[in-house]
Structure 1
Amino acid sequence: MDPDNLSVVLHAKGDLRLEQRPIPEPGPDEVLLQMHSVGICGSDVHYWVHGRIGDFVLKEPMVLGHEASGRVVRVGTGVTHLKPVFYHFLPLKGDRVAIEPGVPREMDEFFKSGHYNLSPSIFFCATPPDNGNLCRYYIHKASFCYRLPDNVTYEEGALIEPLSVGIHACRRAGITLGSLVLICGAGPIGLVSLLVAKAMGASQVVISDLSADRLAKAKELGADILLPVKREDLPEEMAKRVESMLGGMPHVSIECTGVESSIQTAIYATRSGGVVVLVGLGASMTTVPLLNAAVREVDIRGVFRYCNTWPTAIAMLASKRVNVKPLVTHRFPLEQAVQAFETTRQGLGVKVMLKCDKNDQNP
């Protein structure tokens, strides 16, 4: 095995470095992966720029990256469902897998009830103090690695992480056949929410954003109606525009920006008895028209990451019901990670993908 384990390590706010780290050994229930494709998330950039997200504060060097896929190189003694590159010295292909980055550390009440994403003891890649997988080699719990079908690429496998946010949000929203949907924000999460909403049967989706380029990408991905937004727009007026465009108020609004005025728009726009799902993370205290929601029985539901979504996402990708490939607009080899992060920070394109296997830079 090549001893090169180049890793993207954040040492402190603004201090991003490429450095060699030892190749780890998998435990009994773990696998060692040769990483292939890792997407850069806004949270990775936020840690780089600010050194923290809310209560999660960088206190020691941390490997970044959590949107990832790779190939199984070694398996722990207790792993039977995944095949490594070598088995009893016989060469095998090694299973290609997508990685679910959030792993419960204990079987608590949240794990038992199927809401393991809410467990306070969860391990999550690239969230202090846990390292991520933006490196050549990485170990992960085998039960949170999912085999990819032959017709699903590594990049699609890496994109299952953001796609899962969309799946979880649309499930929480209760989208079904014929739903009218408003999506606030056409960034990566807004776009995957659009893809999932259409796949789940939404009849019309209107999506809003400040950026004309992002709205154009939304149109390419199947949005029915584009709603350009200006910072000075008033939420109640925007809600009326949504109703006029859709020919009725949406059953569901999925808010992906975290911006106060956008959250207000989502509440005003949603029809009585409908659902607003809050996906975007903004200020810890936000002013919203709560009475308006209460008297119209508009449910406001939160979303925290995802749970039980990887099998669904893989099935959607393998069946070609969902196409995430257009989301990738930039690719960089691992050696150019700093340039890749700067590209993401500047808001260029949609999804920046880092290629970790120096011998295979293909999607």
Structure 2
Amino acid sequence: MCPYWLSLCSGAHVLLSQCPRRLIFIQGTFSPFLAEVLLRMHSVGICGSDVHYWQHGRIGDFVVKDPMVLGHEASGTVVKVGSGVTHLKPGDRVAIEPGVPREMDEFCKSGRYNLSPTIFFCATPPDDGNLCRYYKHSASYCYKLPDNVTFEEGALIEPLSVGIHACKRAGVTLGSKVFVSGSGPIGLVNVIIAKMMGAAAVVVTDLSASRLQKAKEVGADFTIQVKNETPQEVASKVESVLGCMPEITVECTGVQACIQAGIYATRSGGTLVLVGLGPEMVTVPIVNAAVREVDIRGIFRYCNTWPVAIALLASKRINVKPLVTHRFPLEKALEAFETTKRGEGVKVMLKCDPTDQNP
């Protein structure tokens, strides 16, 4: 067990392995005079970053120095509203956008608030997340869910937003040929969004046959199980199944060899978007990309995606329900984290409301 301390709630700092069955009920203190809402949490998905913080205590420059509540893929029900809140009321079901700007800086003014260096973000040190019974959050970053969108779909808007942001940055459009590297949850949402945005063909690579099968279920046209191929050989296989080199590659693993394959695979003049985060320093064939004018773009989380995602879910243009493969009550958080760590299934969902364990 990693020695780093985690907290399931404010004031009850425990090692996850020692988490008692009785959990304290609220993270933070509700301030009725602010533009905040108090939420009774319902569904919280476990992200790879949650597991990484649990196991290693850091991701890049974000280091866990004090007890921290995990969880940032979430939905819940409004219990109380601050005096400045007008668009929500008690009883409203909402999806939570975990990133909230702390100040109106140049990035917020330009509509790219995700790049603000002072942004609050759930479960990113030193900011607590929302894996708890009750949680308060900025009302402006809580979005009412239509009646035909479930709590779990609401929680899945967070990873879905990564796909929306990545595909927008990549320029996916009608007729695009797209290569998605990696068939984990983020790879899968990129498949879903790329197809929704009009991609004519999407090919997905992964080591896991079961995950590639899931990619087919959510809309991938072709899959390639990678074994011991070189990056150039992977690129050649991608071109072979598509019948051409893809204009767009979305790299969702962060693995050096996969980034290399992404550069080799992308058509001259195309775009490679780096979504997965791996080592700080990687070796890539940058000259190959440069002389072929392959644009390499990064993404950092997302911005302005919740209204789009809710509209897509409500209209049934996309279906994310197959992504949830495991469900656990909050009391079994350790078991849920262990399941995610082992790579079982796709998305593990924790159910925080003991009176409602439904999707």
TM-score interval (norm. to shorter): over 0.9
- Contact (CA 8 Å) 1:255, 1:262: kept in 2 or not? yes
Q: Does 1:304 align with 2:300?
A: yes
Q: Distance in 2 between matches of 1:35 and 1:21?
A: 10
- Contact (CA 8 Å) 1:253, 1:270: kept in 2 or not? yes
Q: Does 1:66 align with 2:63?
A: no
- Counterpart for residue 324 of structure 1: 320
Q: Distance in 2 between matches of 1:290 and 1:101?
A: 34
**What's the RMSD between the two structures over aligned residues?**
1.6
Cα 1:22–1:352 change in 2 (3 A) is closer
Give the letter aligned to residue 24 of structure 2: Q
- Counterpart for residue 58 of structure 2: 52
Give the letter aligned to residue 263 of structure 1: I
Among 10, 17, 20, the alignment partner of 2:19 is 17
- Contact (CA 8 Å) 1:12, 1:58: kept in 2 or not? no
Q: Does 1:150 align with 2:152?
A: no
Q: Does 1:31 align with 2:41?
A: no
SS, match of residue 276 in structure 1 = strand
Deviation at 1:25, TM superposition (A): 1.3
Cα 1:54–1:16 change in 2 (3 A) is farther
Identity of aligned residues (%): 72
- Contact (CA 8 Å) 2:9, 2:26: kept in 1 or not? no
After superposition, residues 226-241 of structure 1 pair within 5 angstroms as 226-230=223-227, 232-241=228-237
Offset from partner CA, 1:235-277 (integer Å, 9 cap, x none): 1111111111100000100000000000000000000110000
- Counterpart for residue 223 of structure 1: 220
Q: Distance in 1 between matches of 2:250 and 2:8?
A: 35
Q: Specify every segment of 5 or more residues in structure 2 that has no aligned partner in the other structure, as ranges.
A: 1-6
SS, match of residue 121 in structure 1 = coil
Q: Distance in 1 between matches of 2:17 and 2:118?
A: 28
- Counterpart for residue 4 of structure 2: none
Q: Distance in 2 between matches of 1:269 and 1:21?
A: 50
Q: Does 1:141 align with 2:145?
A: no
Tell which deviates more after alignment, 26-35 or 305-314: 26-35
- Counterpart for residue 176 of structure 1: 173
Deviation at 1:26, TM superposition (A): 3.2
Cα 1:139–1:240 change in 2 (3 A) is same
Cα 1:354–1:8 change in 2 (3 A) is farther
Q: Across the two proteins, how many residue pairs are aligned to each other? A: 348
Q: Distance in 1 between matches of 2:271 and 2:248?
A: 5
Offset from partner CA, 1:100-119 (integer Å, 9 cap, x none): 00001000000000000000
Offset from partner CA, 1:197-251 (integer Å, 9 cap, x none): 0000000000000000100100111110011001x31011111111111000001
Offset from partner CA, 1:282-327 (integer Å, 9 cap, x none): 0100101111111111000001000000000001111111100000
Q: Does 1:333 align with 2:329?
A: yes
Q: Does 1:242 align with 2:248?
A: no
SS, match of residue 174 in structure 2 = coil
- Contact (CA 8 Å) 1:13, 1:51: kept in 2 or not? no
Q: Does 1:112 align with 2:116?
A: no
Question: TM-score, normalized by length of structure 1?
Answer: 0.93
After superposition, residues 246-285 of structure 1 pair within 5 angstroms as 246-285=242-281
Deviation at 1:59, TM superposition (A): 1.0
- Contact (CA 8 Å) 1:26, 1:74: kept in 2 or not? no
Q: Distance in 2 between matches of 1:252 and 1:15?
A: 43
Among 94, 97, 103, the alignment partner of 2:94 is 97
- Contact (CA 8 Å) 1:169, 1:193: kept in 2 or not? yes
SS, match of residue 62 in structure 1 = coil
Q: Distance in 2 between matches of 1:26 and 1:15?
A: 32
Q: Does 1:295 align with 2:301?
A: no
Q: Does 1:83 align with 2:89?
A: yes
Give the letter aligned to residue 167 of structure 2: C
Cα 1:77–1:185 change in 2 (3 A) is same
- Counterpart for residue 120 of structure 2: 123
SS, match of residue 293 in structure 2 = coil
Question: TM-score, normalized by length of structure 2?
Answer: 0.94
SS, match of residue 136 in structure 2 = strand
Q: Distance in 2 between matches of 1:136 and 1:195?
A: 31
- Contact (CA 8 Å) 2:205, 2:223: kept in 1 or not? yes
Q: Distance in 1 between matches of 2:196 and 2:328?
A: 30
Deviation at 1:11, TM superposition (A): 5.5
Among 327, 339, 346, the alignment partner of 1:343 is 339
SS, match of residue 41 in structure 2 = strand
Q: Distance in 2 between matches of 1:119 and 1:276?
A: 24
Q: Distance in 2 between matches of 1:14 and 1:169?
A: 33
Q: Specify every segment of 5 or more residues in structure 1 that has no aligned partner in the other structure, as ranges.
A: 1-5, 85-93
